[in-house]
Amino acid sequence: MTAAVAKPSETHLHLAGELLTPLPEGALWWARKRVLVVSDLHFEKGSAFAARGQMLPPYDTAATLSVVERLCASLRPATIISLGDSFHDRAAELRLPEAYARRIQALTAAHDWVWVEGNHDPDPPQHLGGRATKTLRIGPLVFRHEPTGEAGEVAGHLHPAAMIIGRGRSVRRRCFASDGARLVMPAMGAFTGGLNVLDAAFAPIFPEGVMAFALGQERVFMVSNKSLVADKPAGARWRR
């Protein structure tokens, strides 16, 4: 698999014959259809942790919403697909501040917003607007939360991350994972972690190997399979 020809500041990729643009914010832009895809927003994860005694700053929902709002203002998508786990748990809507609810309602009113069912949030709050589905098919692409390996699939759930070693140091970044036939999105939520793309969980989805598209500050970087390394065990040292 190779990335498609792109502008110097962009990385493009092909999936099922469609040209897609992975964005450094962790979203996916399908320009031909004016579709913006986001995944694993995990709204109100901070307040869920706080309820269990882990006092995290309660600003993750606001930070994640701000990213989505900036992308909408810049790209003007017709459709926004949220690929599941948009809310951290079933009680998240009860903890959602009214100001944040109004911001979500503004987004769902301005765009055809699709809530794809996730394992954390099978029933998105109806008062926030948008429409809900388990799976969404548009042309040759199919959008769902948990990846199955189907050709043309865009999924989330696994929170892929890439580890790269170079010049004596390691770099770990959230990433898009793809083999040209299917793609797994990075988690976009402010407090979400990542699973190394070399983890065994990705093997059934990408049986012939995976390519990572790592998120940088201003662009996305293609990383070949040969450059990827597994996470080191706790206390271990890297050996070249």
> For residue 156, how many other CB atoms are within 10 A of its CB?
29
Closest to 86 (Cα-Cα) out of 145, 40, 132: 40
For residue 48, the model assigns a pLDDT of 46
Q: Per-residue pLDDT for 49 more than 70?
A: no
Closest to 216 (Cα-Cα) out of 24, 17, 65: 24
Please identify which residue in the block is written with the tokens 């390996």. 149
Amino acid occupying residue 124: P
Q: Per-residue pLDDT for 77 more than 90?
A: yes
Q: Per-residue pLDDT for 237 more than 90?
A: no
Give me the percent of the chain exceeding a pLDDT of 70: 80
Give me the percent of the chain exceeding a pLDDT of 90: 60
* Residue 76 or residue 3, greater confidence: 76
pTM of the model: 0.86
pLDDT (tens digit, 9 = 90+) per residue, 78-112? 999 999 887 856 655 667 889 988 999 999 999 99
For residue 196, the model assigns a pLDDT of 96
Cα 147–152–158 angle (5° rounding)? 20
Beta bridge partner(s), residue 163? 172
Please identify which residue in the block is written with the tokens 């998120």. 215
Over residues 33-39, mean pLDDT = 97
CB 69 within 8 A of CB 105: no
Over residues 14-24, mean pLDDT = 96
- CA dihedral (151, 157, 158, 164) positive or negative: positive
Please identify which residue in the block is written with the tokens 């450094």. 24
Amino acid occupying residue 6: A
For residue 2, the model assigns a pLDDT of 42
Cα 225–39–78 angle (5° rounding)? 115
**CA dist., res. 115 & res. 21, Å (int):** 21
**CA dist., res. 85 & res. 103, Å (int):** 18
pLDDT (tens digit, 9 = 90+) per residue, 170-227? 889 999 999 999 999 999 886 677 899 999 999 999 999 999 999 998 999 999 878 8
**CA dist., res. 90 & res. 83, Å (int):** 16
pLDDT (tens digit, 9 = 90+) per residue, 123-169? 777 888 999 999 999 999 999 999 999 999 999 999 999 998 877 67
Q: What is the mean pLDDT of the chain?
A: 85
For residue 102, the model assigns a pLDDT of 94
